[in-house]
Amino acid sequence: MSSRRRTTIVGSLVTASFSALMILAAPAVAKGPGPGSDKGGKAVDQAPEGVAPTTLLPEEISVDNESRKTTITATVKNDGTKESGALRLLVVGFDGLTVENVPGCSRIAEGDLPEGSNSGFSCPIDNLAAGASKSYAADATFDLGRTGKICLPVQNPDGSKTFWQQGPVPFGTTNPSPNAPATPLLLGTDNTPVAPDGDELPRTGAPGRDVLPLGAAGAALLTAGAAGVWWSRRGPETHRRG
């Protein structure tokens, strides 16, 4: 066989092998953020006529088991027929879920956080056209030995009215994998914390405390499952950030 023919055959085999590897590797490529969900959300105060703000959270997030880091995409939409005017979106963490940073947003001072929450950011929105949306990539950590919740209220700029509130809604899994590189958590699922030896740890979320008041920030959150909005200034600090 001539050297030229051998070179051609070898080249074809290399190309075929590379193509096969690409095909086999394709399913292993990480998926992008899945479709958003408004699970745990409801309208609160009456929004201006023609304005209908809502929010979306991913159906699934992935938490690195070593660093505990994750990213949560929080999306605010205007499902109405008119421009929204100025709004603000709050991104608030509870229990084992701590919001570390939301680019383009301001951290809520510890004294102005809702009672029972550990972190929060306020995101000013100049205007949302009818049908438009805006997304924020929230950097967070999740202590997999605890339960964790997130809350997304959409308010007018001074926080005197809450037009929509999603949560506090949990992320979690009922089948933890402490030895895996990462743990997938599902929206609307209470986390079942598991120690490295497989023994279940006590849950830390407080079941009837789904709604907690903001202080000087003036934001109101809606009690899950109830039709009221609570208003109150916080008293002395009852918790410390973890």
Q: Which SS3 state, helix, strand or coil, does residue 233 take?
A: coil
The helix or strand, by DSSP H or E, that contains position 128, with its residue range, turns out to be: none
Q: Helix, strand, coil proportions of the chain in percent (round to 5)?
A: 10, 35, 50
- Percentage of the chain beyond pLDDT 90 is 60
Round to whole Å and give the CA distance between 195 and 217. Answer: 37
Give, for 18, the enclosing helix (H) or strand (E): helix 3-25
Output the average pLDDT for the chain. Answer: 76
181 conformational bin, left if phi > 0, alpha if psi -120 to 50, beta if neither: alpha
Quick one: pLDDT band at residue 119, thresholds 50, 70, 90? Answer: very high
Q: Which of 28-42, 76-90, 178-192 has the lowest mean pLDDT?
A: 28-42
Q: Supply 150's token pair.
A: 């997130």
State yes or no: pLDDT of 214 exceeds 50: no
Class (C level, CATH) for 37-235:
mainly beta
Domain boundaries, the chain: 1-30, 37-235
Identify which of 183, 182, 73 has the alpha carbon closest to the alpha carbon of residue 133.
Answer: 73
- What is the maximum span of the chain, computed from C-alpha positions, in angstroms? 89
The DSSP code for 51 is: -
pLDDT (average), residues 139-144:
96
**Pairing between β-strand 53-58 and β-strand 87-95 as defined by DSSP bridges:** unpaired
pLDDT in tens, 8-34: 444 443 344 333 333 333 322 233 344
Nearest alpha-carbon partner for 155 in 115, 118, 114, 189: 114
Whole-number Å distance between alpha carbons of 70 and 82: 35
